Amino acid sequence: MLTLELRNRLESSLKLTLSATLIFNYPTVTALTNHLAEKMNVPLDAPVEAATAQALSANDSQMADLEQLSRDEIEAMLAEELKSIDDLLKGN
């Protein structure tokens, strides 16, 4: 259910038509990012700057924290984040 909602929000915000199986076909953030960038003709081969490298390192730490959470906790966090994004898009 959340996968379809994510796909719908991506479609709406990026003005793209995406497959209903998008998240299953591209199950990681990297795979999904590469696919979406390709569909939007956005090159991803630019060199990584130091600030970006530091942010990626921080993300690795956050991923380790996420691995400690239950599926229900992760779903609740995702739903909250999606609501925040939706509110931003609606100007709330």
Burial, 6: exposed, middle or buried (Cβ in 10 Å; 0-12, 13-18, 19+)? middle
Regarding predicted confidence, which is higher, 68 or 62?
A: 68
pLDDT reported for residue 35? 92
Contact 20, 26 (CB under 8 A): no
Please provide the average confidence, as pLDDT, over all residues in the chain. 84
Query: What is the Cα–Cα distance from 33 to 3, expressed in whole angstroms?
Result: 15
- Higher-pLDDT residue of 63 and 53 is 63
Phi and psi, residue 40, nearest 5°: -100, 5
Rounded CA separation 59/62 (Å): 5
pLDDT, position 45: 75
Per the structure block, which two tokens stand in for 29? 């953030």
Global pTM exceeds 0.75: no
pLDDT surpassing 70 at residue 87: yes
